Structure formats: C-alpha cells, structure tokens
Structure 1
Amino acid sequence: MTEKEQLQVEAIKNGTVIDHIPAGQALNILKHFHILDNNDRITVGFNLPSKANGHKDLIKVENVRFTEEQANQLSIFAPNATVNIIEDYKVVNKRNIDLPESVTAVFKCPNSNCITNVEKTAVTNFKVINKNGKIQLKCRFCEKVFNKEIVTDNI
C-alpha cells in the first residue's frame, strides 16, 4: 500500500460513519446525540482533508446503526453530511441527509419559563424553520422561535 492509499482513519467492520461534517462540528454532534453514552468504539477525525471544503470532521461508531430520523437531525449541525451504514467493512447504505420538519428530545429549550424546563418530564420538540438558508427552531410548547446557535449552544 502506498502512502497515498493509507487510510487516515481506521475502517470499522459494522456500524455508522458520519462523513462530510463541517470542521469543528463533530464535538457538538457527539454531545447532542449522546454518541459517547454507549460502550461501542468511536473514532473521531478532526480537520481531515476535504476536496470540497478544505477540512472536515468524521465520526465512526461501531455496532450502531443510525435511523433515517437520527440522520436527518444531524443536518442541523452538518447540512451536507452523509451517513454511511457499514456491514462487513463495506458501505451497504449511503444516505444524504435532509433537514427534518422537527427535532424531538435532542435540545433543551432556551426559554427558562418553558414547560419543558419547569416540568423535567416534558420532552422538548422543535419545529425546524429554514428561512433563506438560516435555520431557526420553534419550540412547540412555548412557541418561541430561536436561531439555531442559541438552541444548539444551550446546555
């Protein structure tokens, strides 16, 4: 194998590969989608070379298959990402993701008076709004609209 052919990130036998993540967004995805909460092996590449964008991040999770809904929720952080399902070291399904209509139980509502913050049993749900390429999230409970950054940065 020549130096150019060598993989920069180790291949996985079975699982999910999230590719074409904008550089710097992998940590947000790991945190918000609780990818670190299981005991499966996770490989993360930061600032890898990308022909399209200069640099990209990459996440590989062994023995986990992302659903279409989970994959689409990733588009909030990485609108041009691809989600590849791997079986026996081969890509068996490659999905381009679409912005979902709503996101449930991923983000906390920034409105401290929202019922989801008052009653800890309430599950958050946001309607996703795309206004000329700028993503906003509208809480279905308090009905406030927030820029994506306010919701995704709110822990």
Structure 2
Amino acid sequence: MSEKVYARNVEALKNGTVIDHVPAGMGLRILHLFKLTEYGERVTVGLNLSSGHMGSKDLIKVENLVLSEEQANELALLAPKCTVSVIEDFEVVRKQKLAIPDEVTGIFACPNSNCVSHVEPVKSHFRVRVTEHDTKMKCKYCEKVFSKSIVVDAR
C-alpha cells in the first residue's frame, strides 16, 4: 500500500504577506495593479496551483511587505474570497478580514475612453456600491456607473 506524499509547491516565507486563494488567472493582474514587484522585495507567484476548494488557484507571497487594511480591502474587488495572511518568523500572526471598500483610488482605469482621468494627471477614483446582484462602481470624474466586472477587466 502506498502512502500519499504531500509537498509544498512554494517556498516558506519568513516575513511578509501571503495572498492565497486567488482565482486562477488573477495573480498576474493583482501583481500589476497593486505594483507588488515595485517594492524591491522578493515576490513568489504560484499560478494554477491545485486547490481542493477551488480546483485551481493563484498564490502571491511578498517578502517584508504588509498590506494596509485599505490595500487588502481593494483586493476584495478582484478576489473576494482570497485570504491575506501576515507572516512573521515563518508563522501566520494575523489573517486580514477583507471587506469591499466604499471607494477605490488609483488602481483601476475608467472604462469610459472620454473620461478626463485618461488625459489629466489625476488618479482614477471610484465610489463602490454593492447591490444584491452586482457591485457597481461610479467614476468620480465622468460620473458614469459601471458593473465591477467592466471596471476590473478594463485595460
């Protein structure tokens, strides 16, 4: 009878942040939108890792960086069921609770190509409203309302 052997797919992190249970395919988008590679710290990314709960998932580990509550909540717009764990000395010391924020600034571009945020030196800014069937995002500048999926997928 053979025993199952379990191995970690990603190296352990001494200090920093682990963003786990990211929907497969969203890991690189999160890296880009949150500029996680610009801190000068080691970043480990696992893409399409097997997951009992999700089938497959992405995972991001950033050394020596702890996301603010605001940053963690902004992640909830892209990956509402992800977990954000703070690691100190190889141990999880805190799991940040995520809540969709009321506003988000400087992360997503307005899908309206005529919006002034594309031509003026201003950071994008959206008010977020969660409804029963969707999450809506209203641009501060053009005042157009978009479904979250349209804003998140805009490039």
Normalising by structure 2, we get a TM-score of 0.90
Q: CA RMSD in A?
A: 1.7
Q: How does 1:6-21 map onto structure 2 within 5 Å?
A: 6-21=7-22
TM-aligned CA deviation for residue 47 of structure 1: 1.6
Specify the code of the residue in structure 2 equivalent to 1:22. Answer: P
1:81-111 C-alpha deviation (Å, 9 max, x unpaired)? 1110111111111123111111111111122
TM-aligned CA deviation for residue 74 of structure 1: 0.3
Quote the Cα distance in structure 2 between the aligned partners of 1:133 and 1:82.
Answer: 23
Quote the Cα distance in structure 1 between the aligned partners of 2:41 and 2:4.
Answer: 29
1:21-46 C-alpha deviation (Å, 9 max, x unpaired)? 11111111111111122321111111
TM-aligned CA deviation for residue 133 of structure 1: 4.2
* Alpha carbons 1:81, 1:96 under 8 Å: kept: no
Quote the Cα distance in structure 2 between the aligned partners of 1:101 and 1:60.
Answer: 26
1:25-79 C-alpha deviation (Å, 9 max, x unpaired)? 1111111111122321111111212222111111000111100000000011100
TM-aligned CA deviation for residue 12 of structure 1: 0.9
Deviates more, 1:61-70 or 1:91-100: 91-100
Gap regions ≥5 residues in structure 2: none
Aligned residue in 1 for 2:134? 134
Specify the code of the residue in structure 2 equivalent to 1:76. Answer: L
Identity %: 49
Quote the Cα distance in structure 1 between the aligned partners of 2:49 and 2:119.
Answer: 42
Q: How does 1:54-93 map onto structure 2 within 5 Å?
A: 54-93=55-94
TM-aligned CA deviation for residue 116 of structure 1: 1.5
Specify the code of the residue in structure 1 equivalent to 2:143. Answer: E
Aligned residue in 2 for 1:101? 102
